[in-house]
Each structure stands twice: as C-alpha cells, then as structure tokens.
Chains A and B, each alone.
Chain A
Amino acid sequence: MSKTSPHALPAEGGLGNEPLLAVDDLHVEFATRAGLVRAVNGVSYSLQAGETLAVLGESGSGKSVTAQAIMGILDMPPARIPKGEVRFNGTDLLRLSEEARTQVRGQRIAMIFQDALSALNPVFTVGWQISEMFRVHRGMGKRDAVKKAVELMDRVRIPGAKQRVNDYPHQFSGGMRQRIMIAMAIALDPEVLIADEPTTALDVTVQAQVMELLAELQRESNMGMILITHDLGVVADVADKIAVMYGGRIVENASVHDIYKAPAHPYTKGLLESIPRVDLKGQDLYAIKGLPPNLLDMPTGCAFHPRCPYRQDNCVTDSPPLYEISGTRNSACHYWREVLDGDQG
C-alpha cells in the first residue's frame, strides 16, 4: 500500500521485521471504589498488514480494554497504563501527545463497535456522519464529501445508497447500521481496523454477511484487522491467528488451524467443546465449570485453576509463563503437553 498520508507520524512501512502493530506487555488498571482492577496484565500480540488476528475471550477478559488502550480512548482516569507499549509502525503510541494520537485515530487505526445503533449519532443522517470523516480529515467540500459517502455506502453494499444517504441511523436495520459503521471506519483507508464484536448484536445470517464484507474489504486494502469476539464460530473463516484471553492475560496464541486442530490450553479446549454441534444433538452442551474470575480478587497462580480439569497442585501457586510450543504458538499452561495430547489429568 502506497498511501501518501499528509501526517508524518508514525513512519510508514515498518523497518525490518517490525510488525504493523505490536502490543507489548500491556498493563491496564482501573482505580475503582472497590479497589484496583487489573483488567489487562501483560498482554502482547502483533499484527502484520493484511493479517487478521482474532482476540477471543469472555466478558471481562480484557480484550476490549486492550483494544481501547490501542485506540487511546480509555477514560484516564479511572484507567491507567502503568506498563507496556503499543507500537504502530515502530512508534510507541502511548508516548504520543493527545493531538498526535487524534491524527492516528480514524486515519491510521480505526475501530468499529458492537452495537452500531448506539455507536452512530442519532441526530445526524448517516450521510452527514460518513461525509464528516472527509470534511474533517481531508478538508473536502460538503458536496464532494457526500459524493464520497455515497461511494462508500455502495462499497459496503448498502442497497440504494443514493436514496438512503439522508436517512437517520434508526431507519436502518442492524446489519445495515453495522455496514455504515464499517463505511465510516474504512473511509480514510486505515492501516489497522479493530472490530470489537462487530457481529454480536446481529442475527446469524446477517453476521455472516458482515464478516464476509469485512474480510473482503481487508483483502482489497491489505489492512491489518483485529477481530475481538467471543464467538469461535465467527473466527474460523476469517482469522489467520488467534489470541485467547482469560483474566486479562493471553493464555494461548496460535494459528487458526492449530487451535482448531488441537488446543494447547484447557480454557481454549473448553471453549471449543462448548460450541453447539449438530452431530451431538440431544446431548448436554458442554460448559466450562465455575465463573469467570473476579478481577478485584484474582485467583493465585494460574487464573484459570479453579475451573481447570487439568489442575495440579503447582497451578494454585505458580503463575504459568507463556510457554513456547512452536515458533508461532504459545500456551500459558504448565501442562500444555497433556492438554495438547488430550488426556484429561
């Protein structure tokens, strides 16, 4: 991609092996009345251009907070980033001034949200909102900007874009609203698109269409995409690699193929087993026992140990490091070999 961005920062085109976006040992905590909530505890992942990384995890696992830290849209305070780096083309975003970060947002890294109805401003037409991107960031005139908005609406395949450009968000269906959100996000050709549960609020048929659209747009523009989700079904088709998060940490890192073939962390394994399957109709659906950890009072040792079928004594005391299984694969489980082989403890 040879874009000529008017903004010098950060440098285009990574140096050497520097990935497009790299999160390195990121910590995020929130000061609340009840105490310090450590929402993200040392998360690292990286993304290359044209690559899709799926970040998987349940509510409260820190996946969205990590994304918001990358975007710099966390409310600080109460949030705080005591440690870590977010390198975009080699520049640490966390060290940039607020003005410089505003230049990155939307133009270089964009984000779409779960519920597109509440993510669109209810009092302006969708055309106004999409064209605003061009007016503010590209200094376009109103007429040209609206023309571009219609083009974008066509590109995200909103039927009758020309007729609908003056409609308000609530006049669109859920899937169409998400398309509008996507149109706004890709308006300025960002290099990275973060999609925070983009299909969770949609029904299943529409989910597939939206995912297809995202994958297609990504292919066209060679964007890097971070897909945050708790739905393993969504991930399989579009993602290249997966980072599974639990209790504010990454517990497994792997390519999609590897993870579906044989998970190396008991939590991933539990997630995969709890997908409803047609061939197991009538049987009880598998559920991971227990509850997600309380972020105010994390279990000692491995955060997953109270729910883990592979638990041994040392899991209660020793927090597992991210073991390297292969060059592209990690697992934060002391007994990843057993999990990989599939024999229950």
Chain B
Amino acid sequence: MSETPQLGQVGPAFPETQSLTENQPSPPVKQPKKKEAKPASLWRDAWYDLRRRPMFIFSLVLIAILLVMSFWPSLFTSINPFDAKTCELSTARQGPSAGHIFGRDNLGCDVYAKTIYGAKNSIIIGVATTVITALVGGLLGLLAGTRGGWTDVLTSRVTEVFFAIPSILGALLITATFRDAGIGIWIVVIALSVLAWPMTFRIMRAAVITARSQDFVLAAKALGAGQARIMFRHLLPNALAPVIVVATINLGGFIAAEAALSFLGVGVQSPDISWGLMIADARNRFLEAPLPLVFPALFLSITVLAFIMLGDAVRDALDPKLR
C-alpha cells in the first residue's frame, strides 16, 4: 500500500459515506492511529508492551551476554581451559588472585575461564531441547487438536505414558544407556526432549481446541478454506502464544536439568565443561574451597532466572487481560 499520508482523505471527505452514522470514520477515533502509524495486532501489541518492561529488557540483556559468552568465550577470558597447560595441580583450590579472579579448582584450573566456557553447553542444551520439544510437541498437538477423533485419542494416550515416567529417573536411564553412543552432549538433549515434549503437546492441543470452537474457523470453512489452511492460518497463529510462553519458561528448566544430570554423572562428560559438571567436581571440597562451586552455581542461577523472567514477561505481554 502507498504509505503517502493522504491526510485530507482520512476524515469525512468520502462522498459516499455522508449517510453513514457509524462512529468509525469520524475524526476523533483516528487519534490513536496518528500516534502509532503501525496497526495493532496481538504480536505487535505484545512487542510494544514488552519494550516497556524493565524485566524484559533486563532478561534480554542477560541472555545476549550469555549468548556472546557461549559462542565467543575468548572475548571474556584469555585462558583456554581445554588446554591442560593452563592447569597447575600445585595451585589447586587457590583463592582468587590477579590472573585468576575466581580462584582455581581441584585440579588447579582457572574457575573463571571454565565458567565462561561452560555457558556454551548449557545454552546449546537449553535452546536445542526447547526447539525440539516445541516442534515435536507443537506439531503433534496441532494435529491432535485439529483432527480430534482417534488421532487425538492415540496421541493423548501416548503422552500420558510419558507423563508417567519420573523425569529425572527417565533422563538418567536414557543418558546412562546411551552414554557410549558417542554423541556427546546431544544425548542430554535427546533425553530431555523425549521426556518434555508431552508438555508442549498438551498446551498446544488445548489452545487449538479452544481456537477451533471459535466462529472465525467456521467462517473460514464456510468461505472455502481447506483443512490445511484452517490448521496453519487460523488455528496455529491463534494457539501459538501459550506455547511460546511455556517454551521460554521451560528453557530455563532444561538448563537446570542439564546441570542436574551432569552433577549425577550422566550428562556432559569430562573433559568437556559444563556448570553442572563443575558443581559436581567441586562439591567434595566445598568447605575448604567454596568458590569453584559458587561461581558456576551463580551463573547457572542467573541463566535460568533470565530465561524464566523472559518467559514471564512474554506471558504477561501476550495475555491482554493482564495488561
């Protein structure tokens, strides 16, 4: 559309409309449009709302820092913890010093560098698991909610089976069984995804069922929309909000779960680095040297918090009733 502002035309200048008494074309109603040139929608409104939330900005900044940390850790530290020469056993559990601000761990390695490098695995596991669960659970939920009938019954029963598995136990079982498969941290991603997709499924399914009963779906059908079009153009966009919200909140949970699995010895394996692994290594000498445990734990908490805060802010912004 031509963006040239034909201001003269916007008002009552339409010859055909003089007989109309509806309030819409009258000039006063135009006011909000002048201020905000862009039209409003659920997503645009949400974005508009989010930009004004300190919690959202704060969590976004934190996440941005964490992302940079994961992919360019050398920007934050000159020490490469994967290089064994940087560790000195004789300086094990030394307190903070000039070159090693977080001190050294049980093997005399730099805690700060390890913490920085540990971000990568946490972020990859968190993001990958979220994406996989959102795709698998979301698509199946969309299908089950749209089609109903036996598709719904079958998929819903399958998710119930997964719900019955205690998650830590299930993840332990999967990771312990396939730890020799040689796929590194991806075994953690798979284990968490297998156990977590039913939650996304349920949320998507419920949202789709709610959307399905609305008039615009019937109207779309009455105007000749096919099933695929109804599914992806009418149901999906209207059911996406709760899934996105839960996905962001879950992301924090997955990072914490990775730490738990690594702590239990079935997650990320040494010599790879992860916060959970660092916590596990440091716990035996915690009273002597608390710092090698405290710093990765602190980073872990901040990361989880950042994603949960993001999810919270997105949830509030997408729910008009909370505005």
Contacts of B234 in A (CB 8 A): 121
Contacts of A171 in B (CB 8 A): 39-40
Q: Which of B21, B42, B215, B224 has its CB near the most chain A CB atoms (within 10 A)? A: B224
Encoded as 1 (CB less than 8 Å from any B CB) or 0, chain A from 98 to 121 comes to 000011111100111101001111
Q: Is A23 part of the contact surface with B, judged by Cβ < 8 Å?
A: no
Q: Is B23 part of the contact surface with A, judged by Cβ < 8 Å?
A: yes
Contacts of B222 in A (CB 8 A): 71, 73, 105-106, 110-111, 113
Docked CA distance A69–B2 (Å) = 42
Q: Is A125 part of the contact surface with B, judged by Cβ < 8 Å?
A: yes
Docked CA distance A146–B150 (Å) = 40
Q: Is A221 part of the contact surface with B, judged by Cβ < 8 Å?
A: no
A interface residues, tally (CB under 8 Å): 49
Q: Are A157 and B221 in contact (CB under 8 A)?
A: no
Q: Are A173 and B23 in contact (CB under 8 A)?
A: yes
Docked CA distance A184–B22 (Å) = 20
Nearest A residue to B25, CB-CB = A159
Encoded as 1 (CB less than 8 Å from any B CB) or 0, chain A from 105 to 149 comes to 111001111010011111111010000110011000000001000
Q: Is B190 part of the contact surface with A, judged by Cβ < 8 Å?
A: no
Q: Is A176 part of the contact surface with B, judged by Cβ < 8 Å?
A: yes
Q: Which of B219, B223, B237 has its CB near the most chain A CB atoms (within 10 A)? A: B223
Task: Specify which of B1, B17, B21, B224 is in contact with A166 (CB 8 Å cutoff).
Answer: B1
Q: Are B223 and A185 in contact (CB under 8 A)?
A: yes
Q: Are B221 and A119 in contact (CB under 8 A)?
A: no
Contacts of A54 in B (CB 8 A): none
Q: Are B16 and A111 in contact (CB under 8 A)?
A: no
Q: Are B223 and A106 in contact (CB under 8 A)?
A: yes
Contacts of A146 in B (CB 8 A): 1
Near A by CB (< 8 A), chain B positions 1-53 give 1-2, 6, 9-10, 14, 16-17, 19-25, 39-43
Task: Specify which of A102, A120, A176, A181 is in contact with B24 (CB 8 Å cutoff).
Answer: A176
Q: List the count of A-B residue pairs having beta carbons below 8 Å apart.
A: 116
Contacts of A184 in B (CB 8 A): 223
Encoded as 1 (CB less than 8 Å from any B CB) or 0, chain A from 150 to 171 comes to 0000000101101101111011
Docked CA distance A316–B236 (Å) = 52
Docked CA distance A104–B225 (Å) = 11
Contacts of B97 in A (CB 8 A): none
> Smallest Cβ distance from B5 to chain A, in angstroms?
9
Q: Are B16 and A157 in contact (CB under 8 A)?
A: yes
Q: Are B41 and A168 in contact (CB under 8 A)?
A: yes
Encoded as 1 (CB less than 8 Å from any B CB) or 0, chain A from 189 to 226 comes to 00000000000000001100100000000000000000
Q: Are B216 and A119 in contact (CB under 8 A)?
A: yes
Nearest B residue to A108, CB-CB = B224
Nearest A residue to B11, CB-CB = A160
Q: Is A266 part of the contact surface with B, judged by Cβ < 8 Å?
A: no
Docked CA distance A171–B39 (Å) = 9
Contacts of B2 in A (CB 8 A): 162
Q: Is A45 part of the contact surface with B, judged by Cβ < 8 Å?
A: no
Given the interface contacts A120-B216, A121-B238, does A137 sit within 8 Å of B24 by beta carbon?
no
Docked CA distance A163–B14 (Å) = 12
Docked CA distance A127–B41 (Å) = 13
Q: Is B90 part of the contact surface with A, judged by Cβ < 8 Å?
A: no
Docked CA distance A105–B21 (Å) = 33
> Smallest Cβ distance from A74 to chain B, in angstroms?
10
Q: Are B224 and A163 in contact (CB under 8 A)?
A: no
Docked CA distance A16–B225 (Å) = 32
Given the interface contacts A111-B223, A184-B223, does A175 sit within 8 Å of B238 by beta carbon?
no
Q: Is A310 part of the contact surface with B, judged by Cβ < 8 Å?
A: no
Contacts of B17 in A (CB 8 A): 157, 159
Q: Are B9 and A157 in contact (CB under 8 A)?
A: no
Contacts of B6 in A (CB 8 A): 162-163
Contacts of B215 in A (CB 8 A): 113, 115, 118-119
Q: Are B214 and A172 in contact (CB under 8 A)?
A: no
Near A by CB (< 8 A), chain B positions 217-238 give 218-226, 229, 233-234, 237-238
Q: Are A102 and B224 in contact (CB under 8 A)?
A: yes
Docked CA distance A127–B226 (Å) = 20
Nearest A residue to B214, CB-CB = A118
> Smallest Cβ distance from B179 to chain A, in angstroms?
45
Encoded as 1 (CB less than 8 Å from any B CB) or 0, chain A from 171 to 187 comes to 11101100001001100
Given the interface contacts A120-B216, A122-B216, does A176 sit within 8 Å of B22 by beta carbon?
yes
Q: Are A111 and B219 in contact (CB under 8 A)?
A: yes
Q: Are B24 and A159 in contact (CB under 8 A)?
A: yes
Q: Which of B10, B25, B220 has its CB near the most chain A CB atoms (within 10 A)? A: B220
Q: Are A160 and B14 in contact (CB under 8 A)?
A: yes
Contacts of B22 in A (CB 8 A): 173, 175-176, 206, 209
Q: Are B40 and A136 in contact (CB under 8 A)?
A: no
Encoded as 1 (CB less than 8 Å from any A CB) or 0, chain B from 203 to 217 comes to 000000000001110
Q: A102-B224, A113-B215, A176-B22 are in contact. List 9 more A-B contacts (CB 8 A).
A: A71-B222, A106-B224, A110-B222, A111-B222, A123-B41, A157-B20, A162-B2, A163-B6, A166-B1
21 A-B residue contacts at CB 8 Å?
Answer: A71-B222, A102-B226, A103-B224, A118-B216, A119-B215, A119-B219, A121-B238, A123-B41, A123-B237, A124-B233, A136-B229, A137-B224, A157-B17, A160-B10, A165-B1, A168-B40, A173-B22, A176-B22, A176-B24, A184-B223, A188-B224
B interface list, Cβ under 8 A from A: 1-2, 6, 9-10, 14, 16-17, 19-25, 39-43, 214-216, 218-226, 229, 233-234, 237-238
